[in-house]
């Protein structure tokens, strides 16, 4: 399954929302990467196991389920989360890209690529005995979108509290 969506960070047409800089947004994304427990209430434990130029490795625990990820990045441009497949998790890739299409506009593009199958165009997956992953793809996409909106909401809260610098 491939799923992609955009979230606006700045809206120059809405004077009620203070504009965030790319640097401030990047600082928020780094906190999301390095301190994921601040962003996910279902996460029980997170450890960074390795750190290098342009990447880090981390382990996340959701109850008994352990997820291992390699996060690669280019500062102020993108984050790429490569989640390792295991018996408990099918793995996949999530890329978060900062986009500035015009002065005053700032977006995050989220792209997911997972082994989950999708129903062919114009068909919906079936549920019941023998149902495949295609039935659940729509629910998974909505869960991803909701999690990403929540992440941006929490980054915006850090910004409003002055915790992302100038």
* Unique residue bearing structure tokens 């993108």: 78
pLDDT (0 to 100) of residue 89: 86
Per-residue pLDDT for 127 more than 60?
no
* Unique residue bearing structure tokens 């906190």: 31
Q: How confident is the model at residue 133 (pLDDT cuts 50, 70, 90)?
A: low
Model confidence pLDDT, tens digit, residues 7-38: 999 988 888 889 999 999 999 999 999 999 99
Q: What is d(CA 115, CA 91) in angstroms, rounded to the nearest whole number?
A: 7
Q: What is the mean pLDDT of residues 51-74?
A: 97
Give which of 160, 166, 140 is closest to 5, Cα–Cα.
140
Q: What is the mean pLDDT of residues 42-69?
A: 96
Tell the burial category of 113 from Cβ atoms under 10 Å away from its Cβ (0-12, 13-18, 19+): middle
Q: What is d(CA 142, CA 4) in angstroms, rounded to the nearest whole number?
A: 11
* pTM to 2 decimal places: 0.89
Extents of the domains making up the chain: 2-160
Task: Using DSSP bridges, classify how beta strands 106-113 and 92-99 pair: parallel, antiparallel or unpaired.
Answer: antiparallel
- H or E element, residue 8: strand 2-10
Q: How confident is the model at residue 141 (pLDDT cuts 50, 70, 90)?
A: very high
- H or E element, residue 152: helix 137-160
Model confidence pLDDT, tens digit, residues 75-125: 999 999 999 999 888 899 999 999 999 999 999 999 999 988 876 555 554
For the chain, helix (H) and strand (E) counts, in that order, are 2, 7
Q: What is d(CA 166, CA 116) in angstroms, rounded to the nearest whole number?
A: 41
Q: Does domain 2-160 have CATH number 3.30.530.20?
A: yes
Per-residue pLDDT for 129 more than 80?
no
């Amino acid at each position: 399954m491939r799923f992609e969506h955009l979230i606006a960070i700045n809206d120059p047409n809405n004077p009620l929302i203070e504009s965030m800089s790319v640097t401030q947004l990047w600082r928020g994304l780094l906190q999301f990467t390095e301190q994921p427990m601040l962003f996910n209430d279902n996460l029980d434990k997170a450890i960074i196991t390795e750190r290098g130029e342009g990447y880090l490795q981390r382990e996340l625990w959701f109850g008994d389920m352990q997820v291992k990820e390699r996060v690669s990045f280019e500062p102020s441009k993108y984050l790429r989360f490569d989640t390792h497949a295991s018996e408990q998790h099918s793995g996949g890739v999530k890329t978060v890209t900062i986009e500035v299409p015009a002065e005053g506009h700032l977006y995050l593009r989220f792209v997911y690529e997972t082994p989950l199958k999708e129903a062919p165009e114009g068909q919906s997956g079936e549920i019941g005995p023998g149902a495949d992953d295609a039935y659940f793809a729509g629910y998974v996409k909505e869960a991803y979108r909701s999690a990403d909106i929540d992440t941006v909401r929490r980054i915006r809260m850090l910004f409003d509290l002055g915790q992302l610098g100038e």
